[in-house]
Structure 1
Amino acid sequence: MEKLPAKTGWLWVKEGLALFRKQPAEVSTLFLSYMFLMLALGILPIIGQLLPLILVPVFAMSFMQACRQIEEGKRVYPSLLLVSFRSPALRTLLALGVLYLLAAFAAVAVSTLVDGGAFWKAMTGPGLDPRDIEGSNLRLAMIVAALVYIPAAMAFWFAAPLIAWHKMPLGKALFYSFFAVRRAAKAFTVYGLAWLVIGVLLPATISTIVALLFNNMTVIVFILLPLSIILTVVMYCSFYPTYTAVFGKPPRDEAPVPESNDGAR
């Protein structure tokens, strides 16, 4: 694989937006279905707090498959949310999800060296006492946790599609993903910075403008909520171009995805 130029990172964002614009309602419905399912799982005691992380690779493939179908001119249906549960790779994807969970816990655990455990309590406890925040280095702890998690994120980034589409075993998928991201480091740096600007500065700027114009919290929420959903869905759509830029189009030797009854008409 040739090294990708830094500007490729911005192209991934634009390609994600282009995919979203082809079927905005359909892919947004898929995302909202995913969110409602995660909220429902969150009701379960103990395991409900763990399942969303364990199932990340499983549902990541739902959005990757959705983008693939959009690219091929096929309609996206909410039933795609369950596509990985019918995959022979399901067990490996769940094992990858367990590694997601362990890596996240490890990164947050390391941050306790910086803030004495305030960030750990915020992530694992029912709530954070304001007294725990006073005098703690919570922001620094979040930065440390993010930096510690970066190598794991590199190994996880392409692991799910490599497992599901290329039928790689878990260890091989993690290995290939890590070094693929490392080789495209400049492109991923631009990609990450682009989403940092879009996801943080854009909503902050819009909320400030709306607050100056209306000074009404209800109006601000009414505007920012759909904006945040759209930006998140576009970001999900942009994951697919990062894969195709590195590994090419997905192989066609896997079983076809079942169409919904509406698609048969």
Structure 2
Amino acid sequence: MEKLPAKTGWVWVKSGFALFRKQPAELSTLFLAYMFLMLALGIIPVLGQVLPLILVPVFSMAFMQACVQIEEGKRVFPNLLLTGFRSPAVKNLLLLGCLYLLAAIIAIGASSLIDGGVFWQAMTGQIPLDAKTAQESNMSLAMMFSAAIYVPFAMGFWYAAPLIVWQKMSVLKAIFFSFFAVQRETKAFLVYGLTWALFGVVLPAIVSVIVALLAGNASITIMVLLPLSILLTVVMYCSFYPTYTQIFGKPNITNITDKAVK
């Protein structure tokens, strides 16, 4: 297959918006249900700190499945959150989640080389994560270094979950194919990432400034930014699906789809 042009990254984002527009309420409900479950898991002592990350691959399949449902003209329901748990590959998805956790620990731990462990202590709750802590250390640089360390892991994880479920690959094989698929389409993913940086960071910042100037009330600003953030996050989740189908093709999962909605 020929390499995709850089503009494909923008096409992926537009496709995410197109999918969202077909069932905005349903997709938003699915996302809110997911967030509620994450908050509920966070209440669990000790395990609540790691379970949300370990379960990311399992729950990510709910949104991939939702996009399949939309393409097939079927309604999206909150019970799609169980899609990953109903899959025969659920054990491999949980193993992948454990690798997510390990990668995060490695990336954050590596930041200690820059700031002497300040970012690590802040992330593990040993010290407060505030402006004073950041100003008195190299934490900002350490965060960027940590993000750079995590990039290769992110490349390996990007397609791993759907490859495990839809292509029935082993965990290591899925990570291998995911890494090189992303590496091959670097230009498209750079445009994709920059576009989402614009929509996810710059746009909310501009909106918050405008609302603050017009309303002069922090509560109103939050009331505007919260639904905007939810909308953009859901659209971003929807845009993951076209990045997969563009490279690996549409999944042939009629039987799985039928089981997921029962």
Q: TM-score range by the shorter chain?
A: over 0.9
Show CA shifts across 1:116-158 (max 9, x none): 1111112111651656434211111111011000000000000
> What displacement does 1:252 show?
3.0
Residue equivalent to 1:257: 258
CA distance in 2 between partners of 1:26 and 1:225 (Å)? 18
Counterpart of 1:5 in structure 2 is 5
Q: Answer whether contact 1:9 1:190 (CA < 8 A) is retained.
A: yes
The aligned residue for residue 239 of structure 1 is 240
Pair 97,229 (structure 1): closer, same or farther in 2 beyond 3 Å: same
Query: Within 5 A, what are the aligned runs for 1:181-196?
Result: 181-196=182-197
Give the letter aligned to residue 199 of structure 1.
G
d(CA) in 1 for partners of 2:228, 2:92:
34
Shift of residue 38 of structure 1? 0.3
In the other structure, the counterpart of 1:228 is 229
Uncovered stretches (5+) of structure 2, i.e. residues with no partner:
none
- Residue aligning to 1:26: 26
Summarize the alignment of residues 140-155 of structure 1 with structure 2, pairs less than 5 Å apart.
140-155=141-156
* Contact 1:181–1:188 (CA under 8 A) maintained in structure 2: yes
Identity over aligned residues, as a percent? 64
After superposition, the C-alpha distances for 1:139-186 in whole angstroms (9 at most, x for unaligned) are 111110110000000000000000000100111101100000000100
- With over 3 angstroms needed to count, the CA separation of the structure-2 counterparts of 1:257 and 1:138, relative to structure 1, is farther
Judging changes above 3 Å, is the alpha-carbon distance between structure 1 residues 133 and 259 closer, same or farther for their aligned structure 2 residues? closer
CA distance in 2, matches of 1:255, 1:113: 46
Report what 1:62 is aligned to.
62
CA distance in 2, matches of 1:247, 1:260: 24
Question: Which residue does 2:90 correspond to in 1?
Answer: 90
- Contact 1:83–1:257 (CA under 8 A) maintained in structure 2: no
TM-score by length of 1: 0.95
Q: Is the 8 A contact 2:42 2:49 kept in 1?
A: yes
Q: Partners of 1:138 and 1:240 in 2: how far apart?
A: 34
Task: Let me know the Cα RMSD of the aligned residues.
Answer: 1.4
Secondary structure of the 1:257 match is helix
Q: 1:46 to 1:10 in 2, by over 3 A?
A: same
Q: Across the two proteins, how many residue pairs are aligned to each other?
A: 261
Q: Give how far 1:259 is off.
A: 6.0
**Is the Cα–Cα contact under 8 Å of residues 165 and 254 in structure 1 kept in the other structure?**
no
Match for residue 169 of structure 2? 168
User: Secondary structure of 1:88's match?
Assistant: coil
Which deviates more, 133-142 or 161-170?
A: 133-142
Q: Where do 5+ consecutive residues of structure 1 fail to align?
A: none
CA–CA separation in structure 2 for the residues paired with 1:256 and 1:79:
12
Change in Cα spacing, 1:106 to 1:65, as seen in structure 2 (3 Å) is: same
Contact kept in structure 2, 1:103 and 1:152, CA below 8 Å: yes
Q: Partners of 2:109 and 2:94 in 1: how far apart?
A: 23
| Cross-structure match for 1:118 | 118
CA contact (8 A) 1:5 1:186 kept: yes
User: Which one-letter code corresponds to 2:111 in the other structure?
Assistant: S
What is the match of residue 199 of structure 1?
200
- Could you tell me whether the CA contact under 8 Å between 1:16 and 1:241 is conserved in 2? yes
TM-score (norm: length of structure 2): 0.96
Q: 1:127 to 1:40 in 2, by over 3 A?
A: farther
Counterpart for residue 136 of structure 2: 135
Return the letter of the residue paired with 1:54.
Answer: I
Q: CA deviation at 1:65?
A: 0.3
